[in-house]
Chain A
Amino acid sequence: MTFESIYLQYRKMVYNLSLQYTQNIEDAEEITQDVFIKIYKNIDGFNNKSSLKTWIYRIAINTSLDFLKLKTSKRKSLFKVFGNTNIERVWEPVEFNHPGVLLEQKEEMKRIFSAINSLPGDQKTVIILLKIEGNSQLETASIMNLSEKAVESLFQRAKKNLTKKLNQEKDDEN
């Protein structure tokens, strides 16, 4: 399979996945480019232990998480310069700009994504893969290199944490 055909087949998947992580067009474009550069560099080293789709998924997930980590730490050091050290390591996009979200659902989505963004990387990934990308538990387990049972328990933990975050948010508003 040539790089060009891989790009044509998987570009939409990679772009949409990075959008779920960043909720921002510019960042998603940057991640998508980085993912395909990595694929271009490493395509010779791809062994057929997993499917090509799973391999690309893993690259896209790791690149997205690394991107968010880097942006968060940059923001954190910027806050430190201005003397504010009391910030959480939470990713929030500068602007919620998700083209896949309907306008009438934008506020509700923004609220849920805000809670999702505060989750640890693996819990965030499980929500994205199961709920947004619509993968099955088996597919998610294969992508995350976990057992189906582990995926289920990770999802339950993510749901519990989301409930806590959203309730906390409601408490703050009341």
Chain B
Amino acid sequence: MMKIKTSNSEMDNQLQILENIRKVEVPENLNTQLLRRIEELAEEKVPRKWVFLAAACFVIIFSLNLKLIGESKRDKISNDENPLEIKLQNTITYE
């Protein structure tokens, strides 16, 4: 059987059928499932003050490290450039 083609204006009538879709109630099991997921989420969550504390510790350790590296570099340079330093040239070993 040949089907008649739809025109753009007829589409409005066809779309009217969509208005017959009824609203349905939410299944009861959804509430318990959602509650379980939220509880899991709450358990996983690390308290904010611990996050701040960990971040602060990281910043302190990192800046201390930077300071130490900077100081050791400075020491090395000053040691290398010391004109008064007597370098040991004697490498002869005595048996």
Contact = CB atoms under 8 A, between A and B. Distances in A.
Interface of A: 7, 11-12, 15-16, 19-20, 25, 29, 32-33, 36-37, 40-41, 98-102, 105, 108-109, 112, 127, 131-132, 134, 159-160, 162-163, 166-167, 170, 173-174
A112 B30 contact: no
Q: B interface, how many residues as a size bin?
A: 20 to 34
B38 A131 contact: no
A67 B7 CA distance: 32
Nearest to A12: B26
Contacts of B6: 163, 166-167, 170
Interface stretch (B8-16, B49-57, B60-68, B78-86): B8-16
Contacts, number: 86
Contacts of A32: 26, 30, 34
B19 A162 contact: no
A58 to B, nearest CB: 20
Contact of B23 (A12, A40, A102): A12
B74 interface: no
B34 A36 contact: yes
Tell me what chain B mostly uses at the interface: helix, strand, loop, or mixed: helix
A32 B24 CA distance: 13
A132 B16 CA distance: 9
B2 A109 contact: no
Given A163-B11, A166-B11, 9 more contacts: A11-B26, A33-B34, A36-B34, A37-B34, A101-B22, A127-B18, A132-B19, A132-B21, A163-B6
Nearest to B33: A33
A112 B33 contact: no
25 contacts: A11-B30, A12-B26, A20-B21, A29-B33, A32-B30, A33-B30, A33-B37, A37-B34, A37-B37, A37-B41, A99-B24, A100-B21, A101-B20, A109-B18, A127-B18, A131-B19, A159-B8, A159-B15, A160-B8, A162-B11, A166-B14, A170-B3, A170-B4, A170-B6, A174-B2
